[in-house]
Structure 1
Amino acid sequence: MQTLQKVLPKYTIALALVFFVTVAYLLTRGNTVDVEAGEVTYAELVQAIYATGFVEAEAVANLSSELSGTVNYIGALEGQQVTAGQTIISLDNAQPGISVREAQAAFLEQQAVNQEKTMKYSRARNLFREGALARQDLDEAKRISSQAEELLEQKRLQLKSREDELKKIAITAPFAGVLTLQSVKKGDYVTANMLVARVVDTSKYVVSVEIDELDVPRIRPGQAAVVVLDALPTERYDAVVSRIVPQTDTITKTSRVYLTFRKAVTGIQAGMTITANIVYHIKPHTLLVRKSSVFDDNHKSYVWEIEKGKLKKQLIVTGASDLTFVEVLSGLQQGDRVALLPEERFREGMDANVLVAKAGKAE
């Protein structure tokens, strides 16, 4: 018992020392925070409008059958290249051929009649010059000849119309491209106005994006844009605003804008999803700080500036901004360091243990 009484005071003293050391550590350490910092610097401020959309082929032809009939020939399949004028499908329809033959016969018949009436008018003129024919008879011969000419022209136009109708049994590609749709096979029955094929010119693409109506006044033809495809996220493509559709959707409150690639782009397809940034203003040599560094307090903008190793709540006045940076009009100077991500626990005068910012954060 006496030994225990001697040992206890020693343990009590040791525990007290540990307690006081721990409290002292917490008190001093609790006033120090780890801070990722970035420098305020001058740079070019690029203001852009963010938009999403899709890749579209500049030339697309939806081909419908103008006649009804059974498919008797397939000239190209879905996914295959076609040339301008190439027959994609043709129909077995006898009527256009019959109509052409009938029109040809009528034209030839009228041609013979016309030759006869022309010869009669020529003879009448000769007789009139010789005084063997009255003026009234000459005028009648001329009228009959002119009437025959008019009938011949009518028959010629009818023949051409029937020949044009005959051409409709073959559905052809209006330009070179790729078949992205070919919905029939040999033996299928096709009705008039039925969509049977789609040809897409894959040599040139455009981008269609939807712009919020509030941003439309900032958009002008010729403005530069940067396009990123979801399928190729590491690639950046330069584009330019080519067309603005002057109509706002009453439901989505957006307007359509078309962008054209500055250079030919390979490896893309119509329908691919894209994001675009359309540049509407560039402000050179602007004092910038990251948006993430700025926080609001009573409708004023602040940053946590790191001054002599301590946090300082610094009031700033901001100006223009882009997606990442904001212009500093007053309150900071070039080279000042600020916290990239303000935290609730930050307090004025805290010691700042500055960490190396992750790649891309400090700039």
Structure 2
Amino acid sequence: MTFARRLLPFIIVLAALSAAGWWFTRPKPVAVVVHEVGRGRVEASVANTRAGEVEACQRTKLATIAGGRIDYLGVKEGDRVEAGQVLMRLWHGDLRSRAAVAEAQLATARQRSTEACTVAANAHSEAERQAALVKRGFVSASVEEKARTEAAARAASCASAKSDVKTAERQLESIGTDFNRIMIVAPFAGTVAKITGELGEISTPSPPGVPTPPAIDLIDDSCLYVKAPMDEVDAPKIHPGQPARISFEALPDRTFAGKVKRIAPYITAVEKQARTVEVDVDFANAEEARGLLVGYSADVEIVLDTREDVLRIPTAAIREGNRVLVLGGDGILTERTVKPGLANWEQTEVLDGLAAGDRIVTSLEREGVKAGARATVEGTR
């Protein structure tokens, strides 16, 4: 007993040293970032796989049908033009000469027609008079027959002259058609984006299979939309009328509301790697789109479904197998399996496994963050 009493102080000191050693060598709590589970809106959406771009509702690349030297260039790049305005015309001295000849021929044909038809009318009247004299017995029937034959011949000459007039008119119209072959007229009001060629240069139309730059690129920038490629697996989920959000690299602080207008009826393969479907998205407010430049790169997020006031957590906090780490009141990390609902890149709806107020870890990439580890919320003492 005396011996045990003598050892007791040593045992107490040893236990104290062991406790101190454990205290100073124990694992330090890992600092984590947590998110308190709450309620709010969750949207399911899809986004373009590659950058989309702003397109004009009307855009045409114009060129003359025939080639020739540019004789008239009535616009500059950036000019606003009206529908029907002449933008460019090639040299057409030969057409002017042909038109002058055709006009003279038409005038002559009309004069001959007037002359022939006047004579025909007179011959018809004469035949009628001879017919009246035959009935009264003043002339023979042969005289009447001769007068009627003459009237018929003159009537045929009148018809032939009228036909010559129509032929001359068609010839003049054909020259007018040739004028259209060497002239560019604006098919709609818009802005001249690009002009290829200068006054006096030769403008050549594209031969079959050999694309060449258009003489004039005309854009109607009063109506704009966004064309964006979506992954082929998302194509069945997208329908006209779905709401969308449009953003631009050039305008990082603005988001534009949009609506799906059209889904292409075919899949596009880019280098046989990414298969996408083109989706056209209109701006919900056309006035907001005014001033945007055609060709701006754009990102489109199409909203497929929306749920309000649901339990939600950051999508980045979910591990493989729908597992999350929860920081308990005792400072220990525990793992739970959740049942996800609607989700997007930012938020995921939680149907089961968590309650409002639970603290889940979002800094999963940090060393030591695992189930069973002691943790402290970053920024707390």
Q: TM-score range by the shorter chain?
A: 0.7 to 0.9
Task: Give the aligned partner of residue 72 of structure 2.
Answer: 73
Letter in 2 for 1:81: R
Please say if 1:148 is aligned against 2:165. Answer: no
Task: Indicate whether 1:257 and 2:279 are aligned.
Answer: yes
Task: Indicate if the aligned counterparts of 1:56 and 1:205 stay in contact, CA closer than 8 A.
Answer: yes
Contact 1:97 1:166 in 2 (8 A): no
Task: Tell me which of 316, 323, 330 is aligned to 1:292.
Answer: 316
The partner residue of 1:345 within 365, 368, 378 is: 368
Does the C-alpha gap of structure 1 residues 128 and 306 become closer, same or farther in structure 2, counting only changes over 3 Å? farther
CA 1:43–1:154: 2 relative to 1, 3 Å: farther
Equivalent position to 1:163, from 161, 165, 176: 176
TM-superposed deviation, 1:175: 3.0
Q: What is the distance in 2 between the residues matched to 1:102 and 1:126?
A: 36
| Structure 1 Cα separation of the partners of residues 87 and 195 of structure 2 | 8
| 1:48 has 2:45 as partner | yes
SS of residue matched to 1:163? helix
Quick one: distance in 2 between partners of 1:103 and 1:19? 120
Indicate conservation of the 8 Å contact 1:100/1:166, yes or no: no
Q: Sequence identity, in percent?
A: 24
Instruction: Evaluate the alpha carbon distance shift between residue 139 and residue 246 of structure 1 in structure 2; reply closer, same or farther with a 3 A threshold.
Output: farther
Alignment pair present for 1:105 and 2:104: yes
CA contact (8 A) 1:54 1:271 kept: yes
Instruction: Note closer, same or farther for the CA distance 1:76–1:313 as it changes in structure 2 (3 Å cut).
Output: same
Equivalent of 1:222 in 225, 241, 255: 241
In structure 2, what is the Cα distance between the partners aligned to 1:286 and 1:88? 59
The residue number in structure 2 matching 1:198 is 217
Residue of structure 1 equivalent to 2:36: 39
**1:296-346, CA deviations, whole angstroms, 9 ceiling, x for partnerless residues?**
2xxx32111122132111111222211212221211122221111324623
Q: 1:183 aligns with which of 188, 196, 199?
A: 196
RMSD: 2.7
1:35 CA drift (Å): 1.4
**Distance 1:150-1:23 versus aligned 2 partners, 3 A rule:** farther
Find runs of 4+ consecutive structure 1 residues off by over 6 angstroms: 17-20
> Secondary structure at the residue paired with 2:266?
strand
Q: What are structure 2's unaligned runs of at least 5 residues? A: 1-15, 132-143, 207-211
Q: 1:232 corresponds to which letter in structure 2?
A: L
State the match for 1:243 in structure 2: 262
| AA aligned opposite 1:202 | D
Post-superposition CA distance 1:207-250 (Å, at most 9, x none): 11112222111111111111111111111011111222212124
Structure holding more strand per residue: 1
2:348 equivalent to 1:326: yes
How many angstroms apart in 1 are the aligned matches of 2:234 and 2:371? 39
CA contact (8 A) 1:38 1:338 kept: yes
Whichever residue aligns with residue 324 of structure 2, its letter is V
Tell which deviates more after alignment, 330-339 or 122-131: 122-131
Structure 2 SS opposite 1:154? helix
Counterpart CA distance in 2 for 1:20 and 1:89 is 96
1:42 CA displacement: 2.2
**Amino acid in structure 1 at the alignment position of 2:219:** V
Whole-angstrom CA distance in 1 between matches of 2:158 and 2:119: 8
Quote the Cα distance in structure 2 between the aligned partners of 1:21 and 1:96: 109
CA distance in 2, matches of 1:77, 1:19: 90
AA of the residue aligned to 1:146: A
TM-fit CA distance, 1:38:
0.8
Q: Partner of 2:90: helix, strand, or coil?
A: strand
Aligned to 1:303: 324
Point out the more displaced range, 20-29 or 278-287: 20-29
- Cα separation, 2, equivalents of 1:168 and 1:155: 20
Contact 2:324 2:337 in 1 (8 A): yes
Number of aligned residue pairs: give it: 336
Task: Quote the Cα distance in structure 1 between the aligned partners of 2:372 and 2:96.
Answer: 96
Q: Which residue of 2 aligns with 1:9?
A: none
Name the aligned partner's letter for residue 54 of structure 1.
Answer: E
Which ranges in structure 1 are unaligned for 5 or more consecutive residues? 1-16, 358-363
| AA partner of residue 160 (structure 1) | E
State the AA in 2 paired with 1:351: R
Sort the Cα spacing of 1:191 and 1:350 in 2 relative to 1 into closer, same or farther, 3 A: closer
| Pair 89,40 (structure 1): closer, same or farther in 2 beyond 3 Å | same
Q: Distance in 2 between matches of 1:324 and 1:139?
A: 93
How far apart are the structure 1 equivalents of 2:323 and 2:44?
Answer: 22
Do 1:205 and 1:260's aligned partners in 2 also have CA atoms closer than 8 Å? yes
The alignment partner of 1:326 has SS state of: strand
Alpha-carbon distance, 1:356 to partner: 6.1
The equivalent of 1:312 in structure 2 is 334
Kindly indicate whether the alpha-carbon contact (under 8 Å) linking 2:43 and 2:342 is maintained by their aligned counterparts in 1: no
Distance 1:146 1:332 in 2: 97
What SS is found at the alignment partner of 1:247? coil
Q: CA deviation at 1:136?
A: 6.0
- 1:60 maps to which residue? 59
